[in-house]
Structures are given as C-alpha cells and as structure tokens.
Amino acid sequence: MYGGGNYYADEVSGIVLDIGCHLTRAGYAGEDTPKVVIPSYIGMIENPDPNQMDVEGIAPFAGEKIMKYRDFMKLEQVFAEGGDKSEKLEEICREAIENELKLNPREHPFLLSEPSIHDRESRVALTEMMFEKFQIPAFYIVKSAVLSSFASGRSTSLVLDSGAYTTWAVPVHDGYVLQKSIVKFNIGGETITDVLLNHLVSLGVNIRPHYTFNKTVKCFVEGGEVQGNPEFTLEDIPRPNVDPSYQDFSIREIVRDIKETTFKVSDNTFSETSFANVPSSSYELPDGTQVQLGNERYRIPELLFSSGIEGVIGFSGVHQMVYDSITRCDMDIRRELYGNVVVTGGNSLFGGFTDRLHKKLTELTTQNMKVKLIAPQSTIERRFSSWIGGSILASLGSFQQMWMSKQEYDEHGAILIERKCP
Ligand SMILES: Nc1ncnc2c1ncn2[C@@H]1O[C@H](COP(=O)(O)OP(=O)(O)OP(=O)(O)O)[C@@H](O)[C@H]1O
C-alpha cells in the first residue's frame, strides 16, 4: 500500500523522472545515476508518404530515434512556448518509461521533479497524466531546487541552477522553496550556443551536419602501423526534404560540442586587450574542416557574468542573481545561505565558472559574510543533481508514507497533490 499513513515496503523500487528543457533523465530510486538520458524533443512527420516510412512507422519519435535523419521530420521541444505540451510530455514519459527503462508503470511509484516556481495548474495536470495515462500506483512531485539541495546533503541552501534555457537562484529552507526570493532569467547554455552559432556564421564557417554527406576515411597501414595522416573523401547527400527544425537541431549539436570542449570562464573580467594573445584552439567539424577559436573562447562565456546579453533585460550576471535572491530572504538565514551555495546545471560546467562565481560573489557581499560554494567536481553530479536528489529521497524508508496513492487520487482527485506535496 502507498501513502495515506501506510508504509510502502520496498518490494519494488520507485522511479525518478526529471524532465528538463534539454534532457530528460529517468531511472531507479536508490541508484547513483539515471539509467536513461534522452533529449527532451519529439519528432513528428505530418502527412507522411507511406512509401518512405521505415520499420519504425510514422510518428511520434522520441529518444535516440530523433537522431536519425528522416525526410520531413519536424522536431519540437517538449516545453516549447505555445501549443499543447501535454501530448509531448506524455510521449517523452512513455519513451523513457516503456521503451527505454522497459518497465510497466503500473508496478512502480513515480517521483517527478517540477520547476521551483509553484505552478498549481501544471502539477495537477502532471498528476492526472501519471495516474490516468500511465495508471501508476503512487506519485510524488518535488521542486527541482529542493532535490538538488538534497543531492548535496542539505535541506537549507541557495541553489544556483543554470540549465539549457533558464538560470535560477532558489533559496531552499528546511526543504521548502522560499517562493518570494526566487530569481530567474531566461538565459542558459543555449544562450551561449546561440551566440557562438551567430559568431561562426559571421566568420563564414559552414557547419555541415552528419546527414548531408558520407565520409570515407582511408588509412595507409604498413607493418601494423598507420602511416601518415588518414585521407578522407566526402560525398554529398542531397536532402531536399529536411525540415528546418531538424537541420537546426543537428547544427546546434555540433556548435554545442564546440562550446563544451573549448570555452572557459576567465579568472578576471574579459577585455580585448588582456586577452589579445590567448592561444587559439582548433576544433575539427564532422566534415573534417578545422575551426580556429581565439579569445572568443573567453569572450562569449563572459556574458554569464555581465549585463551584455541582448534582449535579456535586468540580467547582470549569475553572481548578482545569487546575491539578489539571498538579499530577498530574511536576515536570519542569509549567513547560512551564503555558506551553502549549491551550483548545478550543465551551463555551470565551463572550466573556471565556480572560481569566478566565488570571486564575484565575495566582492558583492560584506566582509564578514563567508561565501561557500558546493559544486561537485563530477560532471554527472552537476548535470543530474535534481535526479540524484530524487533518487535519494524516494529510497528513504521514512519517505514511503509520503506517496500519494492511486486510492487517494480516486477519492480526492489530482488537487490533493497540493496538500500532499509542498
Ligand atoms: N561540459 C559542459 N560545459 C559547458 N556547458 C555544458 C557542458 N555540459 C553541458 N553543458 C550545457 O548545459 C546545457 C544543458 O544543461 P542541463 O542539462 O542542466 O539542462 P536541462 O536541465 O535539460 O534544462 P533546463 O534546466 O533549462 O530545464 C546545454 O546548453 C549544454 O550545452
């Protein structure tokens, strides 16, 4: 039995689902990492030509299936602005649960993460979807920042989460989000990807996605050893039916990789003069073209610590977000928050990010306020902290009485989620 004061014995493990704007993570509670990490995108082919269909049929496509080129396949983000999100949300959950984890949702309780700003309508809709469409036996929903805080072993902290499209500074106190003190901006790793993409276009770099050519590599081997540099030939594949969304997605995958492997946050404020002589870095595009990146490797990520992001009014750096959020909190807890700044999200993974954050934040605070950042070195912990927090929580013996059971759902409806989950 689940919830309602009855303890749930651990015969079956709970499933933790963390659906981000960029990636969806899913896996078993109690494990260290999610078993499944898939892009939060759905592929659709409208008005398909049956002669062109492969064995997987028409649509929708999710998970790894969206990576494969298909004529007319349109890719949409699960949380894209406008339109109905519910179908896409259901599809991504179905992919993660049934196709990737390959389990029967009727047999497992589910813990989901949700954005830190309380949104009654969305959580009620999620609750309905999980009970109605997936027939799960029990459910719980927790704010993302609370889970990241738990992942670091803390029930009180200031969580700075910089993901793909948004950056949040969220104070968590005794396991609750202090709603009035949240600071959020629509900037994130994809803002940096956009700036780099525009920069590369302005330099005349032609980024050719993998599906537009066949590459054959020839190596000369003598005595078991490769001689000289391998030679390769490219054969163009015309793709007149590519959907612009798939083209954009594929190009961005490449630009994202360039960014993640070559960009760094500098120790001090970037200036053209002091960074005029930084060594350039070379990146090989999938078609073999070399791209040289000079001081833009530092100039572009500097945007995260400045007020220069076009169209983002009021943003003046992630350090300022942390400061503003803590300043909106009660005096009594500020010291504790400064001493427990949890840094998470893929966009915080640039080399030098945490050192710079520490420096800028220390400059903002008064001398007697000690700033301590909690930023796991491991990329996995930083990128999956909400999921990891969910995994810890859902496997605690003391948590098992918290689940909202199917029986409770049938009796009270989805609105009960407001009472069961803070
Ligand atoms: N090593 C890295 N260096 C720099 N950026 C990285 C690195 N790894 C991932 N990123 C960036 O982090 C972003 C994705 O972050 P994350 O996985 O936290 O997003 P998400 O949780 O799906 O999205 P959101 O938090 O907006 O819902 C992408 O823009 C990606 O390029």
Same domain, 225 and 258: yes
Torsion of CA 111, 117, 121, 122, to 10 degrees: -50
Helix or strand run (H / E) with residue 13: none
Least confident residue range of 12-21, 54-63, 155-164, 361-370? 54-63
Taking alpha carbons only, the member of 395, 363, 388, 376 closest to residue 144 is 388
How far does Cα 400 stand from its chain's mean position?
A: 28
User: Are 180 and 320 contained in the same domain?
Assistant: yes
Mark which of 284, 305, 326 sits at the end of a domain.
Answer: 305
pLDDT of residue 51: 60
Q: Is the ipTM of this complex over 0.95?
A: yes
For the chain, what is the radius of gyration of the CA atoms? 24
- Our answer on whether the CB atom of 22 is closer than 6 Å to any ligand 1 atom is yes
325-354 pLDDT, tens digit each: 999 999 999 999 999 999 999 999 999 999
User: How far is ligand 1, taken at its centre, from the CA of residue 200, in Å?
Assistant: 20
Tens digit of each residue's pLDDT (9 = 90 or more) over 269-328: 998 888 888 889 999 999 999 999 999 999 999 999 999 788 888 999 999 999 999 999
State whether residue 84 is helix, strand or coil: coil
382 touches ligand 1 (CB under 6 Å): no
Residues 293-305 have pLDDT tens digits of: 999 999 999 999 9
Is the CB of 190 inside a 6 Å radius of any atom of ligand 1? Answer: yes
Is the same domain home to 239 and 97? Answer: no
What confidence tier does 231 reach under pLDDT thresholds 50, 70, 90? confident
Question: Which amino acid, one-letter code, is at 383?
Answer: R
Angle between helices 318-327 and 331-338 (to 10 degrees): 150
Q: 47-51, 135-139, 201-205, 346-350: which range is least confident on average?
A: 47-51
Residues 204 and 265 in one domain: yes
Give 39 Cα–ligand 1 centroid separation in angstroms: 11
Q: What is the mean pLDDT of residues 244-262?
A: 97
In a domain, 292, yes or no: yes
pTM (two decimals): 0.93
Contact 160, 181 (CB under 8 A): no
Number of folded domains that form the chain: 3
267 and 194 within one domain: yes
Q: What is the mean pLDDT of the chain?
A: 92
Pairing relationship of beta strands 138-143 and 74-77 according to DSSP bridges:
unpaired
Backbone angles phi, psi at 220, to 5 degrees: -105, 120
Q: What angle do CA 238, 240, 243 make, to 5 degrees?
A: 120
- Does 123 map to a domain? yes
* 37 pocket-lining for ligand 1 (C-beta < 6 Å): no
Quote the domain boundaries for residue 238: 190-305
Q: Is there a contact between 159 and 345 (Cβ–Cβ < 8 Å)?
A: no
pLDDT above 70 covers a percentage of the chain that reads 94
Q: How far apart are CA 206 and CA 227, in angstroms?
A: 30
Q: What is residue 130's DSSP assignment?
A: I
Tell me the C-alpha to C-alpha distance, in Å, between residue 241 and each of 55, 214, 261.
19, 17, 32
